[in-house]
Amino acid sequence: MQRPRLEISHPDYLLECEEMLERDVSLLVERAEAVGWDRGSIAAAIANLGRAYLLKAEADDATERAIRRSKPQRAAL
């Protein structure tokens, strides 16, 4: 894996990420096909896992924000 060369705000950032992940995802698909899974189900499962990952990350971020808001603020000295 390689670190991103582009800033996250760059229009090609996502494309760069896809290119970096492509080889590993292709190998994963090949391994799953080799043991009998069909390509369509594999692709759907990968997409579902991606959506689940995003939902979990959003929930984690919301939890962190709630924790920060609930902590008492220290008085300035």
Considering 6-10, 58-62, 63-67, the range whose residues carry the highest mean pLDDT is: 6-10
Percent residues over pLDDT 90 in the chain: 77
18, 5 contact by CB (below 8 A): no
Residues in CB range of 35: below 8 A, 6 or more apart: none
| Residues 4 and 16 sit within 8 Å (Cβ to Cβ) | yes
Task: Give the global pTM.
Answer: 0.72
Q: How far apart are CA 4 and CA 1, in angstroms?
A: 10
| Residue 37: alpha-carbon gap to chain centroid | 23
